[in-house]
């Protein structure tokens, strides 16, 4: 079951933003909730017969004055069928190679129009759509775009160990660097006006969120710091995180700010919630409304 709808759009100050559901993904529920016992997490997200929970892979398209900007690119089309089965990835497109391209078209644009692609980090379900496979081989999926990523994340992704290797595939990012299409950034900075990189370490050491600001409104693409609304309670941390106690402190700091500054938080993997403002009800963080 692929989470719907394909595209949800709204205004953020003067910016038009589109959440594109780039496909479905099913991951082991125990791995998704770390030390949280199954009787607790399965009340929030039901497991299938292989103990997997249904997730989305939401990318964000921003209509910016320099042109359309894309944050994260889903899982792409370059792996073999067995891989897509293991991870329960359903992202094949109806008009383009993947649902991401379908969603970009539904939002009124083409992949060729994208001027900037920003990766939260380089795991295969976030950067897999950076490149695309067609009859001529593997090529940049957004041929006229610059790609922005954290330099530390790229180093981490190209120097893997036994624990991290399964998440990083070189064909998702190395060809882009070799083609001179990547602009590396270090830490926090304004990438273009109103879009700021925001280091959120823990899931990976150089994982970043993206903070959008327009008019008096702010939105935060939180990526894998809190992949679904069920991950808002501080201790609900993925087993996939390489530094879970760093995640904990990052969440403590970021979610407090999200509440006090009324950020619209964009959830990448939630099957239902594209975005929400959040609140603390005295016990835990949760989505408002």
Sites of contact with Zn ion (CB under 5 A): 123, 224
DSSP 4-15: S-SEEEEEETTE
Is 124 or 263 the residue whose CB approaches Zn ion more closely? Answer: 124
Question: From the CB of 240, what's the least distance to Zn ion, in Å?
Answer: 7
Question: From the CB of 265, what's the least distance to Zn ion, in Å?
Answer: 17
Residue 227 CB coordination number (10 Å): 23
- Cβ contact 26:88 at 8 Å: yes
Q: What are phi and psi of 184, to 5 degrees?
A: -80, 145
Is 213 or 224 the residue whose CB approaches Zn ion more closely? Answer: 224
| Rounded CA separation 130/121 (Å) | 12
Is 114 or 223 the residue whose CB approaches Zn ion more closely? Answer: 223
| Rounded CA separation 47/24 (Å) | 14
Question: From the CB of 136, what's the least distance to Zn ion, in Å?
Answer: 29
Is 54 or 214 the residue whose CB approaches Zn ion more closely? Answer: 54
Question: From the CB of 190, what's the least distance to Zn ion, in Å?
Answer: 24
**Which residue number is nearest to Zn ion in terms of Cβ?**
123
Look at residue 3 and give its three-state secondary structure.
coil
Question: From the CB of 207, what's the least distance to Zn ion, in Å?
Answer: 7
Find tokens 């607790």 and name the residue.
Answer: 40
Is 123 or 251 the residue whose CB approaches Zn ion more closely? Answer: 123
| Rounded CA separation 209/137 (Å) | 31
């Amino acid at each position: 079951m692929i989470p719907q709808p394909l595209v949800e759009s709204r205004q953020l100050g003067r910016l038009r933003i589109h959440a594109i559901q780039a496909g479905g993904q099913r991951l082991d529920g125990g791995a998704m909730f770390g030390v949280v016992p199954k009787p607790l997490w399965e009340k929030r997200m039901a497991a299938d017969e292989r103990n997997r929970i249904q997730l989305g892979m939401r990318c964000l398209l921003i209509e910016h004055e320099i042109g359309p900007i894309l944050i994260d690119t889903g899982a792409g089309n370059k792996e073999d069928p067995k891989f897509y089965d293991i991870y329960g990835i359903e992202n094949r497109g109806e008009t383009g190679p993947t649902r991401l391209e379908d969603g970009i078209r539904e939002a009124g644009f083409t992949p060729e129009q994208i001027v900037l692609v920003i990766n939260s980090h380089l795991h295969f379900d976030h950067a897999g759509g950076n490149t695309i496979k067609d009859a001529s081989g593997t090529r940049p999926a957004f041929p006229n775009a610059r790609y922005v990523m954290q330099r530390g994340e790229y180093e981490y992704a190209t120097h893997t160990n036994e624990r991290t290797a399964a998440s990083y595939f070189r064909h998702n990012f190395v060809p882009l660097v070799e083609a001179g299409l990547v602009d590396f950034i270090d830490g926090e900075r304004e990438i273009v006006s109103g879009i700021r990189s925001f280091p959120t370490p823990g899931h990976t050491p150089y994982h970043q969120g993206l903070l959008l600001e327009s008019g008096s409104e702010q939105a935060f693409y939180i990526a894998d710091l809190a992949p679904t609304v069920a991950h808002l309670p501080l201790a609900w941390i993925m087993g996939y995180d390489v530094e879970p106690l760093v995640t904990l402190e990052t969440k403590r700091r970021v979610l407090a700010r999200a509440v006090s500054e009324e950020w619209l938080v964009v959830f990448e993997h939630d099957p239902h919630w594209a975005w929400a403002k959040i609140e603390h009800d005295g016990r835990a963080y949760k989505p408002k409304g």
